[in-house]
Structure 1
Amino acid sequence: MRRVVFVKALMWSLALLAAAPASAEIRIMQSPGGQVGPFLDLFEKVRESGDRVVIDGPCLSACTLVLSIVPGERICVTKRAVLGFHAARSVDRSGRFYAEPEASEAVLQAYPGPVRNWISRHGGLSSRLLLLKGRELAAIYPRCR
């Protein structure tokens, strides 16, 4: 079942790309995240396309990798935008999560400085989901017009 949810989330992300108008804008309206690899591939394509990214809702977990891949000057946020960060983790064969401290550190270092600083001020990456939104988010990324 977990795989079905992931596939649906990824297909939704790909549908956003496919439905994007020629005006070069990608809109993230709701992404719960998922496995890192497909998000890296997706956001690499967005970066290469030159498209602008509008974060217009929850962008959680692996979705936040967009901040590390797409240049910051091509990202804007709406009032509905929420970024959710947590430590990297994997799932063992019995379905239990376990921490991936080295991957967490690599991801943290890949985020832009202001995002890294915000995460550090809020206790760092852990199993707890940190939510960046509202004025704090608008202080880092511009509001979309």
Structure 2
Amino acid sequence: MRKLILATAFLSSLTTAAHGKEIAFLVDGDTGGKTKLYEEKAQAIGRSKVIIDGLCLSACTMFLRKDWALDVCYTESALFGFHKPFQWDKDHVVTGISAITQADTDWRVMFFEQMPSRVQALLTGKQIPAPAAGDPTSRFVYVKARDLRGAVKRCEPNWSAKYDLINVEDVY
């Protein structure tokens, strides 16, 4: 898997030279997935621009992590959805006390503590859905683009003309 990610990053650098534009990774309609996959995507993206221009749910919100130091910006169309992480066992969510405890720890360490302070403030006091505790996996706490001012950079108005775009969902 790591070789595919590195190959994507290498091919991206070739595209930059061929077209004369910088590469940017576009997030639009990303419903999330396994957190490990998003860690690998972040490594492949490196210092390239990440433009969030639509739905960014679940593990996708990890692109906002401070410790990853990604060059992230958002447009007015960005919408972020947060819920606590959870584990699947074949066709169902793992539930129970130990699953809830693990979800709470993962939420705090992998998500909440790594978010910009403004995002933390927006999420503080909210009941974050926890599938391990029986909440539907489709339930989220949403944060709109307008609420991110001061937490994440806004994209330049001409961002779509400035970059050669690669859909972040194609990075794997």
- Would you call these one fold, judging by a TM-score over 0.5? yes
Greater Cα radius of gyration, structure 1 or 2? 2
User: What is the CA–CA distance in structure 2 between the aligned matches of 1:116 and 1:39, rounded to whole Å?
Assistant: 20
User: What is the CA–CA distance in structure 2 between the aligned matches of 1:118 and 1:131, rounded to whole Å?
Assistant: 10
Question: Per-residue deviation at 1:64?
Answer: 0.7
User: What is the CA–CA distance in structure 1 between the aligned matches of 2:117 and 2:51, rounded to whole Å?
Assistant: 20
Question: Per-residue deviation at 1:40?
Answer: 0.8
Identify unmatched segments of 5+ residues in structure 1.
1-14
- CA 1:134–1:110 in 2, change beyond 3 Å: closer, same or farther? closer
2:64 to 46, 67, 70: 67
Question: Per-residue deviation at 1:125?
Answer: 2.8
Per the alignment, residue 41 of structure 2 pairs with 42
Deviations for 1:53-75, whole angstroms, at most 9, x for unmatched residues? 11011111001111115426x21
> Structure 1-normalised TM-score?
0.74
Matches within 5 A, 1:1-145: 22=16, 23-47=22-46, 50-68=47-65, 69-71=67-69, 74-93=71-90, 95-98=92-95, 99=100, 100-107=103-110, 108-121=112-125, 123-127=126-130, 128-145=139-156
- The two structures, once aligned, show a CA RMSD in angstroms of 2.8
Runs of 4+ in 1 over 4 A off after TM superposition: 17-21
- Structure with the greater relative contact order (CA < 8 A, sep ≥ 6): 1 or 2? 2
- CA 1:94–1:60 in 2, change beyond 3 Å: closer, same or farther? closer
Contact in 2 for aligned 1:87/1:125 (Cα 8 Å): yes
Percentage identity across aligned positions?
22
> Structure 2-normalised TM-score?
0.64
The count of residues paired between Structure 1 and Structure 2 equals 129
User: What is the CA–CA distance in structure 2 between the aligned matches of 1:57 and 1:38, rounded to whole Å?
Assistant: 20
User: What is the CA–CA distance in structure 1 between the aligned matches of 2:35 and 2:61, rounded to whole Å?
Assistant: 10
User: What is the CA–CA distance in structure 2 between the aligned matches of 1:18 and 1:58, rounded to whole Å?
Assistant: 26
Question: Per-residue deviation at 1:139?
Answer: 3.9
User: What is the CA–CA distance in structure 2 between the aligned matches of 1:28 and 1:44, rounded to whole Å?
Assistant: 16
Question: Per-residue deviation at 1:94?
Answer: 5.3
Contact in 2 for aligned 1:104/1:125 (Cα 8 Å): no
User: What is the CA–CA distance in structure 2 between the aligned matches of 1:140 and 1:116, rounded to whole Å?
Assistant: 9
User: What is the CA–CA distance in structure 1 between the aligned matches of 2:81 and 2:69, rounded to whole Å?
Assistant: 19
User: What is the CA–CA distance in structure 2 between the aligned matches of 1:94 and 1:82, rounded to whole Å?
Assistant: 28
Deviations for 1:91-141, whole angstroms, at most 9, x for unmatched residues? 2345134332211121211222221121114x1533341111132123422
Code of the residue aligned with 1:71 in structure 2: it is A
